[in-house]
Structure formats: C-alpha cells, structure tokens
Amino acid sequence: MLNIVKRPSQRTYDYIIIGSGSAGSVLAARLSEDSSKSVLLVEAGPSDRNTFIQMPAGLGIPLMKDRYNWKFFSEEATSSASEKEIYTPRGKVLGGSSSINGMNWVRGNSADYDDWAQSGLTNWSYAHCLPYFKRSENYAQGDPAYRGIGGPTNIVKGEATNPLFKLFLDAACDYGLALNPDHNGETQIGAHTTQRNVSKGTRHSASQAYLYDQPAKAHLDVLLETRCTSIEFSGQDAARVHLIRRGKVFTVDVGSELILSAGAIQTPQLLMLSGIGDSDVLRACDIDVKQHMPGVGSNLQDHPAWCFEYGATDPRDSLASKLGYLGRLKIGVEWLFRKQGLGISNHFEVGAFLSLLGKGMGVDAQMECIAMRGNFAPQGIKIEPGYQCFTSLQRPTSRGKLCITSADPALGPKFQFNYLTTDHDKKLAIAAIKATQQIFQQSAWQGRLSSELSGVDNLKSDSDIIKWALANVESNYHPCGTCSMGVDDKAVTDAQGRAHGFNNLRIVDASIIPSIPAGNLNAITIMIAEKIADSILGVSAIEPEYPSIN
C-alpha cells in the first residue's frame, strides 16, 4: 500500500521530491529503497485511481479534464509571425504526464546521447544510458543486449490488427523504409509496430510501475493535492519548502537533498519564484534575486508536429466504426472484466522513424498513426472515420524560452516554442511533410483511403509548405530543456542534476535534457531519473555497455 498522507508525518525529511511525474515517481521509489532515509513526495494533483487513466484506450478522457491536466498554452511567437498559441497539456495527477500520456514507449537514438557526451556530459553517452534504460523496463521480446527484462515498467508490442495499420506498414516499405522489429533495439530507423507501457491491460504509468507495483515502504510519504510555492534557502543550502494544501500553508525542512521534478514548464517556474533565474525577470516580478541564472527557462525545446488526416473509403476499416455508443460499452465491459479487447490499446499502433536530411543527421522525423480521425482538443474529443498520421520533427534546432510574469505561483509561466525559426528546421519540415505525402500516395493503400483532408496536397511550392506548416503546427507534447544539464554558461545543472551554485538542490525531470532526443520523452525521463537516483544514493553507476549500433 502506498503511504498517502494528508499532512507530513515529520518536520524534516532526508529527501523531498517536488512532482510525482515520470521522474518524481522513479526517484521516490529508488531513494526509498534505502530504509534508513525518509522521503516525502509532493504532488500538486490528485490520486491517479481513475478508470479512464488506467484503461489505455480511455486516454482522451483524463486529458480533457482540468482536474488532471494543467492545460498550458504557449504565447504566440514573435519571431515566426504565424505561430499561434500552442496547446501544451501536462499531467496534474500522481504519475504526472505519465498518467495522461499516449504510452508510446520510445527510448530515442543512440546518437542523441553520444551528442550529450560530446557536449561535455561525458557520463551521458548511449553506453552510459543503456544500462539504465534496461533497468527501467521489462520487455522479454527484445534482444537482451539492448532491452531490459525484470524492470519496473512493463512494455508490450501492439497487435496492430486494424487493416489500415497493415497498409501503412506496406506503404512505408514501398516508400523505402525497412520494417524494424524493435525501434528500441539495435536500429531505430524504419517502420514499426509500436511498443507501449501497459501491464495486464492497464496503463503502466511511472506511478503504477514504481509506486503501486513495488513493495510498500513505511518511510515514503506521498502528499497529494499539495503545491510547492517556493524554496527557502540558508546560504547555498535549500533549507525548507513552502507548501500549500487546500488553502493551508506550511513548510517542511530538507534534511539531505531537495529534488525538483515538477516538469519542463513548472520546475523553471518554481526556481524563478524562489529567486533563481534571470535577474531582470525576477526584479520585474518583485522577487529577491538569490542567484542570477539566465539559463533557467531558456533552451526550451519540443518536437513540432503536424496532423495529416485521410478519409477511409469503407468507414468500417476505421477504428471510429467501433467507437459508437454500443461499441464503447462493449470495449468498456471487456476491459473491466477481462482486461482484453480494444480497451488495452493506446490506439497508436504503428509508426516510423526516418532520417531525411541525410547521413550523419541521425533520426530526424517520426510518424505515429491512429486508425481513425481523432481530435483530442482541450474542449472535447471528436472522432471520425478515416486515418491519421502525426509527423513530428526530431532533433530540431529551434529554441524557445519560458519565464514568469508574476510572483504569484498560481499564475502559469509564459513561454514560446519558436518552432521553425532555423533554416535547418524549415528544410526538415519541408522534407518531413513531403515524405508523409509520399507514404500516403503509395499504391499499397489499394484505394482504401479516400481523400487527403489536411490541405497539404494542394500546396504548390516549398514556401506554401512552410506557410501551411506554421499555420498548422502543433506540439507533440514534449517540452524539455528549460533547466539544461551542461558545462556551458547557460547550464543550470551539472551532469548529476545538481543545480550550479547550490549544495543540496537537484533538478531531475525533462527540464534538464540538454538537446531533445529523437523520441517521445517518457522512457527517456524515466532513464534520467534512474541514473541520477544512483548518484543521489552515492552508489557506483552501472558499468557502460557497448553493443553494436546501426
């Protein structure tokens, strides 16, 4: 049983972790393996015990709810006039974004981590990260040189039984991609059936895998619906955290270390509220400057994405035909009583990784497909027959930024992604959009797709494509980099997540990612937390592993 408390059971905890998302849940589990240490996990959101969070196919429902989703929006970017406000959902619940995400299990490309090592973070090469990816997962179908067996997060391969999925794989192969049996193994490039973090038909979020499914620990307290509003320092030590729960404010003292895992949007916000950030920004908000750190909130990165929609000639081909009232009832009953049927699917069952700008550039585009047209907008879900492909840019070079506008913790920070502000990203967007068109024009589709509905097929020139791209760009929901690890002036932490200039303050979440990898960020953030947990506990890092890589 998880020790969910209404108030802290002690005045001081050895480790206090702010945020229970992909990183925070891992840290709470790993740090509390040392029974001599007390751990407090503080989460602003409520419990994750909700049927639609647990049921993979229910993923759109918690996403709609203010109770579970912070529903941030970026500001319109000034540098690329057409970039609109970008919807940026974030989990506000035990398990954080891992409790509301798409469950697509992707570990990125080996070259991404070798680039981190090249930039001076020598202990973050692929060889150093691989043992921690393996420690985090349980995937018995893979090659054990690359894949973990017996780790907390259970991974299964989708069945991709919908006929349109099979046609996508055929079309991708006719376009020139190879069919890849494991995109988290030796090679990432190719078309694939997706892997998802699901166990016994249930979402295997970080909280489920690392907190509920592990032996109970009496010295780990979990404080839900409690927000950290600032950090109080004594010299260069984080001394205590200021918390608010249901209107009641209180503090808890830091015994050994304070770890911020509030995610890429709110970790930098919390640092700024506590006086750490760009001094001009802090003074404008009447916040005393504890440490001028202009890197906080800079280096915001994301995977810009476009949704391509196609009609289905025979609507019975599309998953939408199974999601009428009776269909949903059948799926619900089958899932509830047998943990079988469509309820165990995250719907994204096939995809592809591509390298478009040539050798040496690594994987630079991803496709994720769903056998219907589904709009999971904050206002509500809209489902229609057809087929949908999300194409996103990997390893983009555009950088955004984030800052606070007020000392009030209840007001979200403002941020801009600045998508497609580099020539590289514009070139890549054109290549990715053309590659998507080409895959959907292959004869392998056998006329089963009726029409292209996103308007891309009417675009005549590259400049038309860029205009369309800026008008239609969306987030693939992977903000990161706002408190980057590194060795340069803009770095906020060192290679162990220790905030520069402080003795006992760590940052461990997607905000410390120095450059965005080619892949969705849940598995990657979990790996980061697994690795830094060893550093916090003072145990030797697992020896690097060097299997061959393609």
Ligand X SMILES: Cc1cc2nc3c(=O)[nH]c(=O)nc-3n(C[C@H](O)[C@H](O)[C@H](O)COP(=O)(O)OP(=O)(O)OC[C@H]3O[C@@H](n4cnc5c(N)ncnc54)[C@H](O)[C@@H]3O)c2cc1C
- Known catalytic residues are 478
Burial class (CB in 10 A: 0-12, 13-18, 19+), 497: buried
Q: Which of 16, 17, 23, 156 binds ligand X (CB under 6 A)?
A: 23
Tokens 């690594």: give the residue: 362
Say how many CA atoms lie within 13 Å of 36 toward its Cβ: 2
Q: Does 31 interact with ligand X (rule: CB under 6 A)?
A: no
Q: How far is the CB of 302 from ligand X (least distance, A)?
A: 10
Residue 311 to residue 449: CA distance in whole angstroms? 6
Helix boundaries (H) for 279-348: 279-284, 325-338
Task: Measure Cα distances from 380 to 61, 62, 376, 411, 475 in Å.
Answer: 8, 11, 6, 24, 17
Q: What DSSP character marks residue 512?
A: G
Candidate ranges 20-28, 108-116, 430-438, 487-495; the one touching ligand X (CB under 6 A): 20-28
Q: How far is the CB of 226 from ligand X (least distance, A)?
A: 6
Cα dihedral 476→432→159→442 (10° resolution): 150
Residues in 215-234 that interact with ligand X by CB under 6 A: 227-228
Residue 240 to residue 233: CA distance in whole angstroms? 7
Closer by beta carbon to ligand X, 48 or else 309? 48
Residues in 44-63 that interact with ligand X by CB under 6 A: 44-45, 63
Residue 149 to residue 129: CA distance in whole angstroms? 16
Q: Does 372 interact with ligand X (rule: CB under 6 A)?
A: no
Q: How far is the CB of 480 from ligand X (least distance, A)?
A: 7
Residues in 514-543 that interact with ligand X by CB under 6 A: 520-523, 525
Q: Which of 8, 13, 16, 21 binds ligand X (CB under 6 A)?
A: 21
Residue 65 contacts by C-beta under 8 Å, 6 or more apart in sequence?
A: none
Q: What DSSP character marks residue 409?
A: T
Q: Which of 96, 148, 190, 412 binds ligand X (CB under 6 A)?
A: 96
Element (H, E) at 203: strand 202-203
Q: Which of 91, 151, 304, 374 binds ligand X (CB under 6 A)?
A: 91
Candidate ranges 41-49, 119-127, 232-240, 349-357; the one touching ligand X (CB under 6 A): 41-49
Residues in 122-181 that interact with ligand X by CB under 6 A: none
Helix boundaries (H) for 313-422: 325-338
Q: Does 28 interact with ligand X (rule: CB under 6 A)?
A: no
Q: What DSSP character marks residue 320?
A: G
Q: How far is the CB of 469 from ligand X (least distance, A)?
A: 21
Closer by beta carbon to ligand X, 96 or else 385? 96
Number of residues that bind ligand X (CB under 6 A): 42
Residues in 270-299 that interact with ligand X by CB under 6 A: 270
What is the SS3 string spanning 216-246? Answer: CCCCEEEECCEEEEEEEEECCEEEEEEEEEC
Q: Which of 102, 108, 374, 413 binds ligand X (CB under 6 A)?
A: 102
Q: Does 89 interact with ligand X (rule: CB under 6 A)?
A: yes
Closer by beta carbon to ligand X, 72 or else 310? 72
Q: How far is the CB of 456 from ligand X (least distance, A)?
A: 24
Residue at shortest CB range from ligand X: 21
CB atoms within 10 A of CB 324: 11
User: Are 387 and 164 a contacting pair, CB within 8 Å?
Assistant: yes
Residues that bind ligand X (CB under 6 A): 18-24, 42-45, 63, 89-92, 96-98, 100-104, 106, 227-228, 261-264, 266, 270, 477-478, 509-510, 520-523, 525
